[in-house]
Structure 1
Amino acid sequence: MYTLIISVACSVAVSVLLKMARRQNLQIEQAIAVNYAVAASLCLLILRPHPASLLDPGTPWWVLIALGVLLPAIFLAMAGAVRHAGIVLSDAAQRLSLFIPLMAAFLLFGEALSGSKMAGIAVALAALGCLLARPRQAGAAGGSGTAVALLLSVWVGYGAIDILFKQLAKSGAVFSSSLFVAFALAGVLIFLYLLARRTAWARRNIVAGALLGLLNFGNIYFYIRAHQVFPQNPTLVFSAMNIGVISLGTLVGAGLFKEKLSWVNALGIALAIAAIIVLIPK
Structure 2
Amino acid sequence: MYTLILSISCSVAVSVLLKMARSRHIQIDQAIAFNYVMAGSLCWLLLGPRPETLMHTTAPWPLLIALGLLLPSIFLVMAKAVQQAGIVLSDVAQRLSLLLPLIAAFTIFGETATQGKLTGIAVALVALAALLWRPSNANAQAPGGHGGALAIALLLGVWFGYGTIDILFKQMAKTGSAFPTTLFGAFVMAGLVSFAYLVLRRATWNTRSMLAGLLLGLLNFGNIYFYVRAHQIYSENPTLVFSAMNIGVISLGTLVGAGVFRERIHAINYAGVALAIVAIIILFPR
- TM-score w.r.t. structure 1 length? 0.76
Matching residue of 1:157? 161
Question: Structure 1 residue 46: deviation in Å?
Answer: 1.3
Any conservation in 1 of the 2:82–2:144 contact (CA below 8 Å)? Answer: no
Q: Which residue of 1 aligns with 2:218?
A: 214
Deviation at 1:221, TM superposition (A): 4.8
Of 146-155 and 242-251, more deviation after overlay is shown by 146-155
The match for 1:140 is 141
Q: How big is each residue's C-alpha offset from its partner over 1:148-204, in whole Å with a ceiling of 9 and x where there is no partner? A: 998876665343222112223445571111111111111111111111111111111
Give the SS at the match of 1:174.
Answer: helix
Q: Which residue of 2 aligns with 1:59?
A: 59
Counterpart in the other structure of 1:17: 17
**1:189 maps to amino acid:** V
- Matched with 2:190 is 186
Secondary structure of residue in 2 paired with 1:58: coil
Are 2:74 and 1:74 equivalent residues in the alignment?
yes
By how many angstroms is 1:274 displaced? Answer: 2.9
Q: Who is 1:260 aligned against?
A: 264
The 1:98–1:273 alpha-carbon spacing in structure 2 relative to 1, beyond 3 Å, is farther
* Ranges in structure 2 where 5+ consecutive residues have no aligned partner: none
Q: Do the aligned partners of 1:117 and 1:279 also contact (CA within 8 Å) in 2?
A: yes
Decide whether aligned partners of structure 1 residues 43 and 55 sit closer, same or farther in structure 2, where only a CA change above 3 A counts: same
CA contact (8 A) 1:99 1:124 kept: no
- Letter of the 2:124 partner, please give it: A
> 1:167 maps to which residue?
171
- C-alpha contact (below 8 Å) 1:39/1:183 kept by paired residues: yes
Deviation at 1:248, TM superposition (A): 3.9
**TM-score after normalising by structure 2:** 0.75
In structure 2, the residue matched to 1:40 is 40
- Partner of 1:122, secondary structure, is helix
Query: Paired residue for 1:124?
Result: 124
Q: Quick check: 1:205 aligned with 2:206?
A: no
Contact 1:58/1:171, CA 8 A, preserved across alignment: no
Q: Which runs of 5+ in 1 are unaligned?
A: none
- Report the alpha carbon displacement of residue 218 of structure 1 after superposing the two structures with TM: 3.2
Alpha-carbon distance, 1:118 to partner: 1.3
In the superposition, relative to structure 1, how do residues 57 and 168 fare at CA in structure 2: closer, same or farther (>3 Å)?
A: farther
Match of 1:273 among 256, 274, 277: 277
In the alignment, is the contact (CA less than 8 A) between 1:132 and 1:148 conserved in 2? Answer: no
Structure 1 pair 265/85, CA: closer, same or farther in 2 (3 Å)? farther
Is the contact between residue 242 and residue 276 of structure 1 (CA under 8 Å) also seen in structure 2?
A: no
Q: How large is the Cα RMSD of the aligned pairs?
A: 4.1
Structure 1: distance between partners of 2:226 and 2:142 = 40
| Residues 124 and 45 of structure 1: CA distance in aligned 2, closer, same or farther (over 3 Å) | same
CA deviation map 1:215-235 (0-9, x unaligned): 22234456678999x99xx99
What is the deviation of 1:208? 0.6
Following superposition, the deviation at residue 246 of structure 1 comes to 4.7
Q: 2:64 and 2:190 mapped to 1: Cα distance? A: 10
Do 2:43 and 2:184's aligned partners in 1 also have CA atoms closer than 8 Å?
yes
User: What is the CA-CA distance between 1:209 and the residue it aligns to?
Assistant: 0.5
Q: Would the aligned equivalents of 1:30 and 1:194 in 2 still touch at CA under 8 Å?
A: yes
In structure 1, distance between residues paired with 2:6 and 2:121: 29
Superposed displacement of residue 85, structure 1: 4.0
Question: Partners of 1:212 and 1:14 in 2: how far apart?
Answer: 6
Report the number of matched residues: 275
Cα displacement (A) at 1:129: 3.1
CA–CA separation in structure 2 for the residues paired with 1:198 and 1:260:
40
Equivalent pairs: percent with the same residue? 59
Residues 165/31 of structure 1: CA separation in 2 closer, same or farther (3 Å cut): same
